[in-house]
Every structure is written in structure tokens, then in C-alpha cells.
Amino acid sequence: MEKTKILLLDDREENLLALKAILNRDDIAIYETTSTNEALRIVWDNEIAVALVDVQMPGMDGFEFAETLASNPKTREILIVFVTAISKETTHAVRGLQSGGIDYLYKPLDPYITNAKVDALIRLSRSQREIRAKNRLLENYATIVTNSPDIIATVEPETGRILSINPSVQTILGISPSSIINSSMLDLLVDPLASGLKEILVSRSYLEGSTIVTEDQFYGLLRQPVWLELRIMYKNRLLFVNLHDVEKRKAHERQLVEAQSVADKARKAKESFLANMSHEIRTPLNGILGIANLLEATSLEESQKNLLEMLTQSSASLLNILNDILDISKIDEGKFSVVAQATDLRTISKGIMDLMKFKADESGIILSSYVDANVPECLLVDGLRLNQILMNLVGNAIKFTPAGSVELRIDHEGKTGNAHQIKFSVIDTGIGISEAGMANIFLEYGQASEDTSHHYGGTGLGLTISKKLVKLMDAELQVSSQLQKGSQFYFTLMLTEDKKAPGARVQTLFNELKPFTGKKILVAEDNRVNALLLKKYLNTWEIEAKMVENGKEAIDALSGTGFDLIILDTRMPVMDGFETARYIRREMKLEIPILSLSATVMAEEVEEALAAGMNDTLSKPFQPVKLHEKIGNLI
């Protein structure tokens, strides 16, 4: 508990000692002096609550001292009790009360009376202090309310009648405060019947005790609607309402909704374009790669094998460009993720060397790779995406290196626990990049200079997708370069070692896969080349294939001989794959497995296929082994 400060003023030391002995308590802090000048300093520097002052003193007597305190705002609240040994005549008592004192103590002092009076004075002082503090708070609140930019009102709960309101109502709504006192706040609303305030008043939800927040439209200047946020609190049988102008926020929200609508339309248009583009490119590309697979299974001369290899590589390049465009779209929309799996970095390095050797030899440059001996055999990383990044970087380096060399390096730079710091670098002796060009190379469809695409070709997507994929792996793709001396693209990953080695991939020709003897499959595919390929694959696997060109023909065919599986292209004339699948499931009530065959890889189309009742999906272009795997799983 805070101690009450008491001043003892007497010109005789023995009197001070007697007073101190009587008032020796834990709840009192005593300041004592025999000098009035010293006493004045004490009351100025300390918050003295009570002063016990001797009347007869040399120089300034007790009455004059009290008058001095009463004349100053800082000390006038001190409660003064005169201590005297002179007579109790009325003239002395009146003089003391007129000078600012409130009571007398007479010598010799009675300890009980002295302590009782001091207790009463302490209580009085504390009460007065609390009253002064509350008055100051009320004055502050009044100032805040008057000058608040918000409308602040007290309202009668039962009727909504306004009892008081601050001047801000004039600024916000253009209404004089005095003109709406005793009128209902509901009369200021644009739509009182549908208002949040009306609901609160009717339901009396304010009785729950918590602050209620709602929004309503009020009539403003020239009867223009203004949105206000109402914060309502119930206390002392009144509603205290704070009304904040949120018209700008509401306008901003409307703009955001409109912008979101425009963005949604643009996104849907983009998705539709990407889906259509994907379908239109992947459909013939599936035919090209499918024919290449068929040719690969035949007896070929060495020159024919070379031509077939070039055909396959060109198709793969086209597919990579298409995948880059779709991957960028997925990353930008947050629909793309990397999945860490057991991966052998040496296998990835060798695969890239094997695939890019033909291109390097064609350009007459030396292609090499280096994998640090300290790199573990197996690390956890998304091998597919890492391969995509390095393929892009190596392919880019070969393209911009007219002569010299391109090296892929995988260096081990340290270990923390089970995590290994691996640096991936692609170093070339090519044309290099200017300082100005460095700003553009990672931009979508960007090139180091305007004539780069003309001289060297390419879409400008390789580095963009690589940078975004590296970022998804919690790293940063960086570059250092000198014009006409070469470039180095590099990034560092922290990868965890996996003691379990990844299984080796085995390349199997479609005609070496096991047959599905006696099985019957219905295929709906409108593209003649793709239909021919599917029929060839299925027949090779000893499957009886019924070929139709659209969903309507598929439904008609289902009324006849039973099938073990249905393969539906998603985009067909007359009746597409989604509509066909829904009809088979809902109208025909058939449970035959359905495989969706789509030339798009959009996640939305996969979801739509499964929602329509299809059991699995396969995207074009596909490898025959993947089709064989899907068929095996479904039948």
C-alpha cells in the first residue's frame, strides 16, 4: 500500500520527536522540519497530504504558513491541522480556519486523539485525491469525445433515442448535434428495417455485456449514403455508440471485389487458353512420339535410328517448352510443389550428358561433367525437377557457346549432421552476358538482348522456370558472367542423405510388355492418329479394342458386348469425355472402370475427370509403358 506523506512543522525538536513517536506507523511517511522555509521546499518537492503545523513559530507563524500554501494551486489541497498550546478561544480557532486549516490539536497531545484525527484526515485526503483524479479523467474524456473524429453518442436502449452526441456528426453526416437530440438514431439510417442496429435493439443482444460491432448506411450530406461502423457497449442502462466512417474502406472493398472479378475472369481465360493450347499441341505431339515408339520396335538401319533419335529429341524439346509454360503458370498460382525422393545425382548427371551429347557434338563443343567423390550415393531431392533445372541450364549453355566447352559440376561443400551442402554449377565458355542483359535473363519470355532470340532461338522460359523451381527448393539461382568469356549459373541445396539407394530405371519397348489376353476395351478418341496408336498398342497386348470417335458412340457401344475398361478422350465432338462418364455412372449405372485420356495437364481437368466418375487419368503425350501400367491397375 502506498504510504501517506505527512509534514511535521514545529520550531522545537522535542515536539517533533513527540509527534513522530505518536505517528510511528507503516502507512505513514513522515517529513519533519523546524524551519518554515524548509517546510515550503518539502511541500513543493513532495506530494504532502497532511501537515501538522505549530501555530507559534519565529518569523513566519503557522497561520501565515497555511495562507502561503492555500495561495498556490500546487499546495492548496494539503490538509492542515494546527498544533498549539495556546488557549482554545474562538478568535484563534476562526483565524486558523480562515488561513486554511481544517482542525486543531492541543498540547499536550493525546496519542489516541492524534492518531484518530490523522486517520480521518488520511481517509479524507485519499478520497479527495480519487475525486480529483476522476474529475481529471472526466475532463479528458470530455475533451476526447468533443474532439474525436468519430461520432460518439449515448442512446436509450429501448427506443434508440439519442441522448447526447458529439460535434463530429456535423462533419461526417452534415447534421447539427442539437437538431437530433431526442430523435431516434434509426431515423438516420438508409434502410432501418434491414439494419444491424435495428436487430441489436430488438434482440437486446447488447445485454450480453460484450462490445457489439456492426455496419450500417446512414444518410449524409445531400442525402448521399455513408457507411459507418458502429461499436456498441451497454453500461449504466445506456448504449454508448462509437460510429466510425468506413466509406473509403467500403469503396476500396468494392474496388477489390471488382478487381478480383476481373482477375478471376482473366485467370479463367488464361486457364482456358492454356488448356486449349495444351490440348492442341499435345494431341499431335502424342501422335509423333507414338509413331516414334512404333518405329523403335521395328528393325531399323543405323541411319534410320539416327533420324528417329533426332525426331524424338525434337519432339521432347517441344514438349519441354510446353511443360515450361504450364509449370510457370502453376507456380505463379501456387499450385506447384516439389516432392523429395531418393535420388542418385550421378545418375542424373549421366542422363543429362547422354541426352545433351548429340546437341553438343552438333555444335562442336566439349561437354563434360564432374561429381564430387564426397557426394553421397543417394540424397532426398525432387529428382524430376532437379533434372529439369539442370537440363535447362546445360541446354542454355550449349546454345550460347559457339566454341569451347560446357561443364556440369556437382560439388560437395560441407556437411551438417545428416544434411549435405551440394553446389550445382553449369560453366560455359560462351558469349557471356552484359551487365544490362543480366537484368532481363530471369524474366518470363525475357532474353539478354533483343536479337538473342533471332540469332539463337528459344522462348526465354528456360531460365525463368529454373529460377522458380530452385526457389521452391529453398535456394537461389545465381549467375556470374563476362562478355565473350563465358557464364556460370549455380545454386546450392541442403540435401539429406538417404541410405536406401534408388532403383534403376529399365527401358522397356511396348511390344515387350506382358499381354492382357482376352480383355476387351472400349476406346473413344476422335483424333485419327492417336486412335491408330491406341489400337496398335492394345492389339499388341492381345486386347480386343472397340474404337469410336465420340462419347455418343461410346454410350451406344456399351449397350452391346461387355467391356473390361473404357478409355475416354476428354475433348471430343458431339459428347465429350466428362459428359460421357457422368452419363455412364448416373444414367446407365455402370461400374466399368474408366480411364481419362487428356491432352492437358491442368489440375482442374484432372479433378473434373475424377468428379465425373472416371477412375484414373493419363495425360498425352504418354509412354506406352505408362498406358500399360494404368490398364493393369484398372482391370
First to last CA, the chain: 85
Task: Write the DSSP symbol of residue 109.
Answer: P
Average pLDDT over every residue of 93-102 = 79
User: Above pLDDT 70, what percent of the chain?
Assistant: 86
Q: What pLDDT does residue 450 have?
A: 47
Whole-angstrom distance, CA of residue 542 vs CA of residue 368: 45
Q: What is the pLDDT of residues 594-635, one digit of tens each?
A: 999 887 656 778 889 999 999 999 988 788 899 999 999 999
pLDDT at position 449 over 50:
no
Cα-only R_g, the chain: 45
For the entire predicted model, the pTM comes to 0.46
pLDDT of residue 251: 84
Mean pLDDT for the chain?
Answer: 84
Rounded to 5 degrees, φ, ψ at 252 are -65, -40
The predicted pLDDT at position 445 comes to: 44
DSSP result, 418-453: TEEEEEEEEEE-SS---TTGGGTTTSTT--SSTTHH
Residues linked to residue 243 through DSSP beta bridges, in sequence order:
151, 230
Burial (Cβ within 10 Å: 0-12, 13-18, ≥19) of residue 442: middle
What kind and span of H or E run contains 342?
strand 341-343
Q: Is the pLDDT of residue 108 over 60?
A: yes
Letter for the amino acid at 56?
A: Q
pLDDT tier, 458 (very low <50, low <70, confident <90, very high otherwise): very low
Contact at 8 Å (CB) between 109 and 18? Answer: yes
Q: Are 521 and 564 in contact (CB under 8 A)?
A: yes
Query: Which of 73-77, 332-336, 470-474 shows the lowest mean pLDDT across its residues?
Result: 332-336
pLDDT band at 376 (very low <50, low <70, confident <90, very high): very high
Where does residue 24 fall: left (phi above 0), alpha (psi -120 to 50 degrees), or beta otherwise? Answer: beta
527: confidence class by pLDDT, cuts 50, 70, 90: confident
Percent of the chain with pLDDT over 90: 37
324: confidence class by pLDDT, cuts 50, 70, 90: low
Residue 85's alpha-carbon distances to 82, 110, 247, 485, in angstroms, are: 10, 13, 75, 109
Instruction: Check residue 164 and give its pLDDT.
Output: 92
**Angle 577-586/551-558 helices, nearest 10 degrees?**
30
CA distance 362 to 306: 13
Query: What confidence score (pLDDT) does residue 453 get?
Result: 43
Model pLDDT, residue 280: 67
Distances (CA, A) of 124 to 32, 37, 78, 119, 273: 22, 27, 11, 9, 84
Eight-class DSSP state of 246 = -
Alpha carbon distance 138, 319 (integer Å): 76
- Grid look-up 447539427 returns 176
Domains of the chain (ranges plus CATH)?
4-144 (3.40.50.2300), 148-245 (3.30.450.20), 337-497 (3.30.565.10), 511-634 (3.40.50.2300)
Q: Does residue 294 come out as left (phi exceeding 0), alpha (psi in the -120 to 50 range) or beta?
A: alpha
In this predicted model, which residue has the larger pLDDT, 554 or 559?
Answer: 554
Residue 434 has a pLDDT of 83
Using the predicted structure, report yes or no on whether residue 261 has a pLDDT greater than 90.
no
pLDDT in tens, 149-195: 889 899 999 889 999 999 999 988 989 999 999 999 999 999 988 89
pLDDT value at position 479? 92
Residue with cell 472397340: 546
Give the side-chain half-sphere CA count within 13 A for 71.
Answer: 8
Q: Which of 113, 120, 132, 97 is nearest to 50 (CA)?
A: 120
How does pLDDT run across 208-254, given as a tens digit for each residue?
888 999 999 999 888 889 999 999 999 989 999 999 998 888 888 88
Answer yes or no: is pLDDT of 446 > 50. no
Strands 379-381 and 405-416: unpaired
CA–CA dist 89, 335 (Å, integer): 98
Q: Which strand (E) or helix (H) includes residue 547?
A: strand 544-548
Q: Can you give the pLDDT at residue 510?
A: 77
User: Shortest CA distance to 217 belongs to which of 189, 193, 245?
Assistant: 189
> Is the pLDDT at 456 greater than 60, yes or no?
no
pLDDT at 381 over 90: yes
User: Worst-scoring range by mean pLDDT, 45-49, 337-341, 489-493, 561-565?
Assistant: 337-341
The yes-or-no verdict on residue 198 having pLDDT over 50 is: yes
d(CA 618, CA 286): 12
pLDDT in tens, 271-298: 666 666 666 676 677 677 777 777 776 7
- Beta bridge pairs of residue 229: 215, 244
Q: How confident is the model at residue 257 (pLDDT cuts 50, 70, 90)?
A: confident
123-145 mean pLDDT: 77
DSSP 8-class letter at 288: H
Burial class of residue 24 in the structure, from the number of CB atoms within 10 Å of its CB (0-12 exposed, 13-18 middle, 19+ buried): exposed
pLDDT tens digit string along 496-517? 998 765 555 555 777 788 999 9
Q: What is the pLDDT of residues 419-428, one digit of tens each?
A: 999 999 999 9
